Each structure stands twice: as structure tokens, then as C-alpha cells.
Amino acid sequence: MTVTAAATTATSTGAATHCPYCALQCGMRVTPAGGSATVEPRQFPTNGGGMCQKGWTSAALLTSPARLTTPLVRVDGELTPATWDDALDVVATRLHDIRERRGADAVGLFGGGGLTNEKCYALGKFARVALGTSQIDYNGRFCMSSAAAAGSKAFGMDRGMPFPVTDLAEADAVLLVGSNPAETMPPFVQHLPSDGLVVVDPRRTPTAERAELHLQPAPGTDMALALGILHAVVADGHLDQAYVDSRTVGFVEMWRVVASWWPERAERITGVAAADQRKVAATLAAANNAYVLTARGTEQHANGVDTVSAWINLALALGLPGRPGSGYGCLTGQGNGQGGREHGQKADQLPGYRKLDDPAAREYVAGVWGVDPDSLPRPGRSAYELLDVLGTETGPQALLVFGSNPVVSAPRAGHVAERLESLDFLVVADIVLSETAAMADVVLPVTQWAEETGTMTNLEGRILLRTKAIDPPDGVRSDLDVLHGLAVRLGQPSERFPTDPEEVFTELREASRGGVADYSGVTYQRLRDGEALHWPVPSGPGPHSDEAHPGTPRPFLERFHHPDGRARFTSVTYNGPAEPVDVDYPLIATTGRLLAQYQSGAQTRAIDELRAAAPEAFVEMHPDTAERYGLTVGDIVRVVSRRGEVEAPVRLTSASRQDTVFLPFHFPGAQRANLLTNPALDPVSRMPEFKVCAVRLELAERSGVHVDR
């Protein structure tokens, strides 16, 4: 199967590149041919020559009628075409005026987990050097921040999956928690075992259908389940005592808490049978090679860091992390979710995964940038906290958005839209007129994946080169060009913000040198030559040869990244969701993805085939739940939370929990699932509680379709 789309002038006879969507970063080839472009999969370790529906149709976005090809400036309330010089002049003038009146922090930036490493690096540098603002964060905060914090605490390093995905081929058992890769990243499923797969998910997803055992806890109770299984590991004699003694610290303190979490107690909270909890403990312990993998379903909670820590504790008790053929890993979601937080667009970080409040890190990076360390701002607000104060007396009055659509993707989305409306000035750089871009004062059309070269870091921590295959449409510029143009207009030296991605990457390498995420030994040529370079890749010779450093696909085999080389157990206990159900809001709503759509849907909803496959939101529920509310399939139901309401048709499945309804989060307007969601934040990661909110159901409109029960 090959999907064809009209394209601009070819720059080559084809390019080996990577899919524009999820963090699996499937290998593909884009071939321009006579005014059109074709995409087809290629052999690459993560996808093994396969692609999902989104990848197959990705070329259609290159010339979609929804594509932006000229800057837009709001005049008399309407977005009006403008020249690039005029649009950038407007942006620079307004930013200068707002900074002069209100200070540097009156301007904020909001980035994206789909931006290349070069763009993420340039965006963080632009914020802290050209604007001097502390107010920068990105939508990756909504993705993997809880697992990042838990991984850093346990292992001293946040490398989502600290082993190549192909290692899973040797697994006898895999515990997959809060992930549905059969829909979110289908080629990943080939790496999962046919026997020994245990899936933890409140829904009976296509991934759960494949599992040998499906555990279906109530949403928000994952931590209690992890504690129950961990108790069974210890009480039933499965603890790897030699590993715990030689490679970890903190077990005794952790066990003081877990000792009271016998599986029967966890069963009362989660609904998962104690016998099944003990079966999971025994299955993982008996396997020669076992893995515990977590994802958004167990992270997107106000206690997400502690919840992920509980699953890491389980993996440590079984002796899995850092053991050849076994391990713990987190499945990153967005295409550059890993790299996106490593190089500076996160509120508290500098390139190389350095901390912005570390004096040594500030001094080193400021030296690379050629600025005074004291001129760099301190850490700013996290993503939702930044959005929450936009337009207020203490918050930014202007916001620049790159590669994100928070009107759809942020929790309490109605409130976020109000905050965006209250801004003095909103600028959005995007490839389509997203719901956020439609609100902007200036919209800047930028290049997309096949029209630019740049690096991404996939879910394995592998640095990839996405190669330009076609020229962008006339009138479109790269994000690097945009940042350069604005920086120069704001008084920065022209050479400080280069536009060539390889030149930017060369500087990124230097800025990351010696950091946790050290890219200094990576070059575009090594990536063009097809080397598998998993960070850290320090410059200089490798550990066992005179050749360049080969990268670190499995960083924990000999020691963890803490000074003593040992992993940390973390003492955590279960306190329940931030918003429990009650008499007024008796059901739990949870959200997730669909096969044919991606993230906020701004890109995939512009592709006819994907829109036809998944044209609108729905509310999935158990038939008995529907009967209690007098609903049937196709009825338009109103789902109401304390923050907003959503209207969508009813979809029934007997595999659903009777206390839970599910909504996909890809859709705009009145079908925005995030109108409902709770912005309660994890105290460490600042992750919002996307996966649990209390709701009630109301009939909005009869379908007129009779279905026999």
C-alpha cells in the first residue's frame, strides 16, 4: 500500500526518514515523483517494516487544503494574510512593548513534544537569552513527566526505555500498565510476547484483548494494585534478595508501608482479584526474562510520580532493571517526548538534562551561549500553571505557541481558552489553523516533518535523523527561521540563532557535553551512516576501543546513575484520586486515544481517510450503565463534571466497567474531552489528573434508533 499526495519540487529521489507521529518513530521512505510524494515503510528496528494507518496516510498532510502557507495577522478582528517581514515586525514590536511595560516574564512560550531536538534547543535558548523570560514549558509536561520524575528518583536518570525495543523479543513475561499500543503505536505490538502478556487497563482495549491476563482496576487505583502485587512478590517468596542487597537501597523502609498492602486489601479498592495479583507476581518471578512497562494511563494522575514509583518498586523487587533480558521502561508518547525535555524547553531544565537552578549548569551553558550566567532566568511555571495565569496581573500578557494546541489538549480546556482570550497578544506557529491558532493575533506557517531535516529521540533514547525529502510550499518557513527573525529584531546578534539545523545541532552537542543526556559524540554524519546511537553518547573514544563512543543502549547493566551506583526503592502509599465520585457525580470519566487520530487531532483531522475512520468523539460505557440512565446506543449524552460538559453519542460495550465512561481526547469544540478533566497537579511532576474525574450523565438527544438489550 502506498499513499500519494501532491507535493512541491523534489530535492532528492527519496529520503529515508521517520514517521511524524508517535515516539516509536517508525522508519519510512518519502519519495517525490512528478509533483507527488509517496510514503512506504522501511526496515527499522522499532517497526520491522510495518506502519499504522496514520503513517500510511501521513503524506496527505503535506498538501492538505488545511495547510497554512502564508502568515496571518489579525486586523479588525479578522486574520488577514501578511508578508513575513510585516508579521515578524508586528510580533517583535508587540513583544518589545509588553516586556518594556511589564518585564521579561510578561512574555511566555509554550512548546511541543513533536518538535525536533534542534527546535526544542533553540526555543529554550530564545526564551532565556532573547526574551529573558522564565515562563516557558511544553505539552510534554502532560505526557511523560511523572515517569521522568520517578525514573530519575529511582535510577538517577530519566531514559524512558533504557534498552532497545527489540530486547522485548526475548521476554517470557511483560506487565504492560496503562498502555494501549495496539491503537496508539500498532507496530510496537510485534515486540510483545504472545504468551505471558499481562495488561493493566480499566478498559478492555485491543491490547488487553491480546493479553493472557487482563487486570481491570478502577481508574485511579493503579498504585493500590502495584502495592498488592508487590506484597505478593515478597510474601509468596519471589523477592530477588541477592539483587536487592547488591544493587538497591531503601527496601526496608519501603516494605514497612507495603507490608500492610496484602492483595485482599488491594482487591477491595481496585476490584482486581487477589488471586490474579498473586498470579502476576508468580508469572513475573518465574520468567527468565521479564519486563514492567508503564505509560500514560498510570502516569496522568495527581499522584502519578508515586504511582510510577510503585511499579518501579515492583520491578526492583523482582530484580529486573539493569538485568540483561529484563527491565523496567516507560513508553514515551509524543514523537520527541524524550528529546523534547532534554534540551531546554521544560521550565526547569537546560540542555543535556541539566537543572536550571544548578549554578555549575548555568555557568557552563551560559558559556556556550556567550552570555552572563546571572542573566539567565530561574525556573518558571509548569505547563498548566503557566496556562492558568495567562492574562492575569501576575502572569504573562503575551504567549508564543510552537507545535501545540492547548485549547484541545490542556485539562480544564474551557478555562484555558478563556485565559488565552484574555492575553494582550497571542502568536502561534503551526502547519494548520488549529483551534489555538484560530484565536491568535499572529499565525506563522511553518515547515513539517518531510520538509525539514532534524533529529528526534525516540522511546528507546535513540537519536534519529529525519531527513528532508521535499521542499516546503512557497511562503512557509522553519521554526528555526522564525526564532532567528524574532531574535534579530529583538536585538540579538544574527549568529547567535542559526537557521541551519546541523549548525544548531552542533551547538546543542556542545551545550549537552557532560550532562546526563550527553549528545556531544553524535554527529549528523554518524546518523546518516545509520549508527544506532542511544544517549548518553559522550565525545571521544568508546569504553572498549579507540573508535568514537558507540552510545549507551542499556545504561544500567553495570550500575545505576546515582553516585553509589544503586537504584532507590521509594516509599509510597495510596490515597486515591484527587476527585472521588459522590452522589452528584457518581461515575468516573477517563480519556485516551484512538487508532486513527493523534493527540489534539489538529493534523489527523485534516486527513480525509483518518477523519472518515474516526469522525467524532463518543462516550463509551457498559450497557447496564446506559440502562440506569435510560440511554441506548447512538443517543447524544451530556457528560458533566465540575469544570464543564461534553456532548457525544453513546457507544456500548459489555467489556467496560460499570462505574466508568471513556472519551477520546482528539476532538474540538463541544466534544473536547478536556472540558471535563481535572487540573489537580502532581506535587513533583506537575502532571494534571487527566485519567480520573467525577461525572454524571444526562440525555441530550434521542438517536431514534431502537436497540434490543
pTM: 0.95
- Residue 544 inside a domain? The answer is no
Q: What is the pLDDT of residue 1?
A: 36
Residue 631 burial class via C-beta count within 10 angstroms: exposed 0-12, middle 13-18, buried 19 and up: buried
Residues 421 and 282 in one domain: no
Q: Is 138 within 8 Å of 346 (Cβ atoms)?
A: yes
**What's the pLDDT tens digit per position in 541-579?**
766 556 799 999 999 999 999 999 999 999 999 999 999
Q: What is the pLDDT of residue 706?
A: 46
Is 558 within the bounds of a domain?
no
pLDDT at 194: 86
Residue 667 sits in a domain whose CATH number is 2.40.40.20
Residues 27 and 101 in one domain: no
Please give the grid coordinates belonging to residue 326.
529484563
Residue 17 lies inside a defined structural domain of this protein: yes
pLDDT at 629 over 80: yes
Round to whole Å and give the CA distance between 244 and 441.
57
Q: What pLDDT, on a 0 to 100 scale, did the predictor assign at position 398?
A: 98
Cis check: omega of the bond before 536, within 30 degrees of 0: yes
Residue at 708 is within a domain: no
The confidence score (pLDDT) of residue 6 equals 35
Q: Do residues 492 and 368 share a domain?
A: yes
Domain CATH for 232: 3.40.228.10
| pLDDT, tens digit (0-9, with 9 covering 90-100), for 116-143 | 999 999 999 999 999 999 999 999 999 8
Which residues are within 8 A (CB) of 634 and not within 5 positions of it... i.e. 6 or more apart? Answer: 649, 650, 703, 704, 705, 707
Q: Classify residue 51: in a domain, yes or no.
A: yes
Which pLDDT value is given to residue 709?
Answer: 35
Query: Cα–Cα distance between 400 and 107 in angstroms, integer?
Result: 8
pLDDT at 703: 75
Q: Which pLDDT value is given to residue 372?
A: 98
Give the structural domain span for 200.
145-330
Residue 369 and residue 391 share a domain: yes
Mean of all residue pLDDT scores within the chain: 94
What CATH code is carried by the domain that includes residue 447?
3.40.50.740
CATH of the domain at 47: 2.20.25
Residue 668 lies in a domain: yes
Percent over 90 (pLDDT), the chain: 93
Between CA 328 and CA 320 the distance in angstroms is: 7
> Do residues 309 and 409 share a domain?
no
User: From CA 337, how far away is CA 404, in angstroms rounded?
Assistant: 13
For residue 144, what is the DSSP state?
T
Residues 591, 184 contacting (CB under 8 angstroms): no
> What is the pLDDT averaged over residues 90-95?
98
Q: What is the pLDDT, as a whole number, of residue 13?
A: 53
Tally of structural domains, the chain: 4
Q: Looking at the predicted structure, is the pLDDT value of residue 9 above 60?
A: no
3-state per-residue secondary structure call for 103-130: CHHHEEEEECCCCCHHHHHHHHHHHHHH
